[in-house]
């Protein structure tokens, strides 16, 4: 593993309610790279996403999580987000009474402060920024006035997550099964948004069970997770092998 990786997970062990879930996972993601993490249900993919963003339900029992040279295991979820880590949830939570625009304004100010920008973005500039990013995701401007995820369809929730990513510009974005529950049109729009945002200043860890989203978002690296650790890594072709053969051949190769 390269020492200059933006996010470097080394030999990570995690338990939930005393039950081991991650069992020596090692993975590194640099800015400018797209990594797809695949694996069967129950392999620990969503556990990893939660651990990276500091969900206190998950207990780290071994290993390190190094982000920009700092071990962040003791940092709160809020502190990690301020530093430039972002998690798009598999099941975003409704927040009645808080509009999308107000949520974005508050989150952006916290992110700007962490980057040394004490003054809030002027209202006119903020509105222009949100309008630009919503257009990118083919979202109606009225969306900004709705309560966050309250009464949203599955596709609207996922687009709202990517809109947050677009406005906050994290350095590492973790997308936890962003493709779940999306029809083909919504999947394409969300994927196009991710592709438009990904560049040299942001790395992406795309967690998915299926290959279909990788028809739209082309990963540089694909990793296969089985029983709490990465057991195989390769290029984009590895995802096609999984689509054709399923995960059993990976499990069998581990036993052999």
pLDDT confidence of residue 3: 44
pTM > 0.85: yes
Nearest to 205 by CA among 14, 22, 37, 11: 37
| 173 CB-near residues (< 8 Å, 6+ apart) | 86, 87, 88, 165, 197, 202, 203, 204, 205
Tell me the pLDDT tens digit for each residue of 154-173.
888 988 999 999 999 999 99
**pLDDT above 70 coverage of the chain, percent:** 96
User: What mean pLDDT comes out for the span 4-16?
Assistant: 90
pLDDT confidence of residue 4: 52
| Domains defined for the chain, CATH in brackets | 7-93+170-255 (3.40.50.300)
User: What mean pLDDT comes out for the span 63-74?
Assistant: 95
Sign of CA dihedral 75, 105, 113, 128: positive
Tell me the pLDDT tens digit for each residue of 181-225.
788 888 888 898 889 888 898 999 999 988 889 999 999 999 999
User: Which residues in the chain belong to E strands, given as ranges?
Assistant: 7-16, 19-29, 34-38, 59-67, 70-71, 85-88, 95-99, 147-148, 172-176, 203-208, 221-226, 229-234
Asked whether residue 1 carries a pLDDT value surpassing 50, the answer given is: no
């Amino acid at each position: 593993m390269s020492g200059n990786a933006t996010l470097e997970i080394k030999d990570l062990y995690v338990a939930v309610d005393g039950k081991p879930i991650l069992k020596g996972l090692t993975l590194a993601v640099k800015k400018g790279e797209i990594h797809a993490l695949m694996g069967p249900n129950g392999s620990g993919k969503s556990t990893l996403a939660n651990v990276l963003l500091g969900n206190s339900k998950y207990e780290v029992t071994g290993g390190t999580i190094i982000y920009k040279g700092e071990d962040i295991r003791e940092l709160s979820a809020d502190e990690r987000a301020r530093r430039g880590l972002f998690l798009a949830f598999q099941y975003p939570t409704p927040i009645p009474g808080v509009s999308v625009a107000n949520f974005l304004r508050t989150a952006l100010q916290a992110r700007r402060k962490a980057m040394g920008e004490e003054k809030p973005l002027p209202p006119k500039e903020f509105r222009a920024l949100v309008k630009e990013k919503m257009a990118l995701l083919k979202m109606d401007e009225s969306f900004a006035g709705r309560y966050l995820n309250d009464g949203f369809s599955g596709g609207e929730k996922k687009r709202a997550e990517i809109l947050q990513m677009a406005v906050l510009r994290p350095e590492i974005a973790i997308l936890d099964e962003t493709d779940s529950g999306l029809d083909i049109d919504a999947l394409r729009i969300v994927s196009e948004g991710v592709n438009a945002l990904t560049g040299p200043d942001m790395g992406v860890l795309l967690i998915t069970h299926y290959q279909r989203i990788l028809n739209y978002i082309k990963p540089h690296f694909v990793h296969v997770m089985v029983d709490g650790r990465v057991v195989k890594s390769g290029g984009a072709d590895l995802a096609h092998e999984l689509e054709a053969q399923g995960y059993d051949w990976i499990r069998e190769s581990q036993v052999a």
